Amino acid sequence: MSLFESLLQPFTSDGLFVELVWQFCIFLLLGISLDLVMGYTGLFQLGHIGFFALGALGTTFGTHPDWLGLDMFGGILLGMAMASLALVVVVVPTLRLPGDYFAIATFGFTLSVQAVMIGYWATGIFGVPGPNPLGCDPACLADTRVGGAVGGAVAAAMGLGSLSSPAQTGVELLILAVFTISAYVLIGRVKLAPLGRALKSVREDPRAAMSLGKNVQMLRFKALWASVLVQALAGSLWAHHVRNLGPHFYGFEFLILTVVAVILGGLGSHAGVLVGAALLVLVNEESKALASWAGDQWPVLASDYSVPSLRLVVFGALLVALMVLRPGGILGEREVTLRRALAWWRDRRGRQAAEGGGP
């Protein structure tokens, strides 16, 4: 395969593109939660993968037919409950530590969660169902016993009746989109609301914030809790997507990738997470393609060394370069909202008109 073909593969190969969309949404969810805590509240924490793993665990236990066999919402709620419990028991006591210590304590939390999961289920748990908001695979919507006459008609129009794979994938993507967009909008509302500004004040100068009457610890806790809920949600969706629980995934490498995603876009910028997540998924896939192309070109690399690890080396170097050269990320702290974008556009048009029309 030529280099060009390898680079194009993420977009031309069907299943891979859907997979990339899923990855983008998961990184987006994790990114907005991290941005809320790190960018807005100034708490540097590395526990997000631990809560993500707990969300996946909750969904696995909640929806697996061997255990609770609930539907998707039950799994999500269970995951959120487990994550919240872990937050209160383990992380909240460490909240009053200074930044570095808190970071490493939460890092230890993530590693511990992974270690315990590996201890119990090193080979993973299989058989987690796909996203089933109605307690059955989405295709069952077409049955009038489930969806009613309307549901049946809608499902038939969507082509669910034939239960070909694209329809199933489409419904799963739809569910993913609904959750991701609502989480994005909700967290965005929080950030643009007075709560977001209060968080930023806590980040800048906690003492000044306290002197103005803000309950700093409570604000930090609220931000952490909101982020933990989103992380648990992301974990649940991920478990539904991969349909298993593989403890080796929820470790250091994934942690770094999410941190890269949020930093690339700029800490403190909600829309920046979109950019960061998209860039990350792109670079991730392209580097995999590049690595496999390099492995094909120079077989000695593939046989004697581990080519996939090269891409992590590149990621690490990229992040170091990013922090040294442009720690603000791509968008910096600029907040891009629709209203502001429109205003900027109108300003620009106005200025152009003024310059064009003036003497």
Partner 1 sequence: MYALVLLCALAAPGAAAQVEGEADLMLRYPSQVVFQTWGDGETYNRFYVEAEPGDALAAQLRVQVRGDHNLTHAVPISITMRLVDPGGDRPDTPLASNQTLWPADRDEPLPVRLNATLGDLAPGQYEIAFTLTTGAWDPDPDNNDPPPAPLQIGAQETTVTGYTFQDRYLWGPVAFGALLAAPFALRWGSRTQAWGDLRRRATTAWEDGTERWIHMDPERRRRVGMGVGVAVLAAVAGAAMVPAGVGFGAAGVADAVALAVLAALLHAVFGVWARHRAAVHESGQTGEPAPPWRSHVRSGALAAAQTALLVFVGALLWQQLAAATAFFRWPDLYGLRRFVAIGLSIGSIYALIAIGYTMVYGILRFINFAHGEVFTWGAYFAWIFMVQFGWVGLLGGLLVSVLLTGLLGATMERVAYRPLRGASRLAPLVTAIALSLLLQAAAQFWFRARKVTYTMDGSPYDGSALEAFFSREVALLGTVVDVLALTVFFISIGLLAALHFFVKYSRLGRAMRATADDLETARTIGIRVDRTISATFIIGSMLAAVGGVFFGLEFGLKPTMGLFVGIKAFTAAVVGGTGNLYGAFLGGFIIGLAENVGGQFIDSRFQKVITFAILVAFLLWRPQGLFGKESDRR
Query: Which residues ranging from 299 to 318 are in contact with partner 1 (CB under 8 A)?
Result: 305-307, 309-313, 315-318
Residues 139-168 that bind partner 1 (CB under 8 A): 139-140, 142-146, 152, 156, 161-163
Q: Is 116 left (phi over 0), alpha (psi -120 to 50) or beta?
A: alpha
Tokens 């066999």 -> residue: 69
How many whole angstroms separate alpha carbon 323 and alpha carbon 264? Answer: 9
Q: Which of 85, 36, 35, 75 is nearest to 55 (CA)?
A: 75
Residues 254-283 that bind partner 1 (CB under 8 A): 256, 259-260, 263, 267
327: contact with partner 1 by CB under 8 A: yes
β-bridge mates for residue 174, sequence order: none
Please identify which residue in 32, 54, 83, 105 interacts with partner 1, judged by CB under 8 A. Answer: 105
CB of 44 to partner 1, least distance (A): 6
β-bridge mates for residue 126, sequence order: 244
CB of 239 to partner 1, least distance (A): 14
Q: Would you call 125 helix, strand, or coil by DSSP?
A: strand
Residues 108-127 that bind partner 1 (CB under 8 A): 108-109, 111-112, 115-116, 119-120, 126-127
Binding mask 19-38 for partner 1 (x = CB under 8 A): -------------------x
Residues 181-200 that bind partner 1 (CB under 8 A): none
Q: Which is nearer to partner 1, 8 or 318 (CB)?
A: 318
72: contact with partner 1 by CB under 8 A: yes
292: contact with partner 1 by CB under 8 A: no
Residues 205-244 that bind partner 1 (CB under 8 A): 243
Tokens 């919507």 -> residue: 141
Q: Which is nearer to partner 1, 56 or 259 (CB)?
A: 259
Q: Is 207 exposed, middle or buried (0-12, 13-18, 19+ CB in 10 A)?
A: exposed
Residues 73-102 that bind partner 1 (CB under 8 A): 73-74, 76-77, 90, 93-94, 97-101
CB of 82 to partner 1, least distance (A): 15
CB of 291 to partner 1, least distance (A): 10
- CB of 223 closer than 8 Å to CB of 43: yes
Q: Which of 125, 139, 111 is nearest to 242 (CA)?
A: 125
120 CB neighbour count, 10 Å cutoff:
10
CB of 355 to partner 1, least distance (A): 39
List the beta strands (DSSP E) in the chain. Answer: 125-126, 244-245
How many whole angstroms separate alpha carbon 246 and alpha carbon 94? Answer: 28
